[in-house]
């Protein structure tokens, strides 16, 4: 199945489950260069933008910090992205995985080697996680504990996936589709909760920009 941009789940999950209502549709988003349709600094693949990932990361950090200031429950704990991984480290990860990392996710890791508290307790794994093959398999076994049910729910096989993020409860996870012979869309990203899909995106950059807009309140899961 070919993905056509990010596809929010139609599962009816209330947006307030993940984004406090007070954070949604705030006028301060104008400072970030968004128009009414969400176009502007968050549009991926704009050729004239220099240092794309540096800019995207700065955008996300600004959104996260502002969201934390308006979070009356104190659930948002912003932390800066980790310093980027070197080419040598990325090459070692690819050696352990036995294949090249997707270009988009690789570029992110080169700019930011993982991110704790990326969205509430959801974190993006660092290269240290991927260096240990057993760690990757343990997380896959946790995500696909009911393998047939989860595979049917998200429409992909466990062998096609690389886990690249998870929350502290082991429920929400982010999956990157690997470039395998039977992969339906190499490089695509799925964020789901025990098979309930929140969003599918064509690549990690699109997922990252979608998450920026989602945390800013520009996107509702249930819409």
Q: Strands across the sheet with 172-177, in order?
A: 7-8, 196-201, 189-193, 172-177, 161-166, 122-124, 115-119
The more confident residue out of 141 and 66 is 66
Task: Please give the class, per CATH, of domain 7-216.
Answer: alpha beta
Q: How far is CA 129 from the centre of its chain?
A: 16
Whole-model pTM: value is: 0.75
For residue 193, name the pLDDT band (cuts at 50, 70, 90): confident
The average confidence (pLDDT) of the chain is: 76
Mean pLDDT of 111-120: 93
For residue 69, name the pLDDT band (cuts at 50, 70, 90): confident
Kindly state the DSSP code that residue 47 receives in the 8-state scheme.
Answer: T
For residue 108, name the pLDDT band (cuts at 50, 70, 90): very high
User: Domain spans of the chain?
Assistant: 7-216
- Which tokens is 17 given? 């489950």
Kindly state the DSSP code that residue 167 receives in the 8-state scheme.
Answer: -
Output the CA torsion 162→164→169→171 (10° steps).
-50
């Amino acid at each position: 199945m070919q993905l056509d941009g990010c596809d929010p789940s139609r599962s009816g999950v209330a947006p307030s489950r993940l984004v406090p209502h007070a954070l949604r549709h705030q006028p301060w988003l104008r400072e970030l260069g968004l128009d009414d349709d969400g176009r502007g600094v968050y549009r991926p693949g704009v050729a004239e933008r220099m240092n794309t990932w540096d800019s995207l990361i700065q955008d996300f950090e600004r959104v996260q910090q502002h969201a934390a200031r308006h979070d009356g429950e104190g659930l948002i704990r912003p932390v800066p992205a980790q310093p980027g991984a070197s080419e040598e480290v990325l090459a070692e990860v690819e050696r352990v995985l036995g294949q090249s990392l997707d270009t988009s996710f690789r570029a992110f890791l080169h700019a930011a080697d993982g991110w704790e508290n990326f969205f509430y307790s959801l974190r993006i794994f660092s290269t240290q996680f991927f260096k240990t093959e057993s760690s990757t398999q343990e997380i896959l076994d946790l995500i696909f504990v009911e393998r047939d049910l989860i595979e049917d729910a998200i429409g992909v096989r466990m062998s096609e996936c690389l886990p690249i993020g998870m929350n502290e409860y082991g429920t929400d996870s982010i999956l990157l589709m690997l470039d395998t012979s039977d992969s339906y869309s190499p490089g695509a990203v799925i964020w789901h909760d025990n098979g309930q899909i929140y969003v599918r995106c064509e690549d990690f950059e699109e997922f990252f920009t979608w998450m920026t807009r989602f945390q800013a309140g520009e996107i509702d899961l249930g819409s």
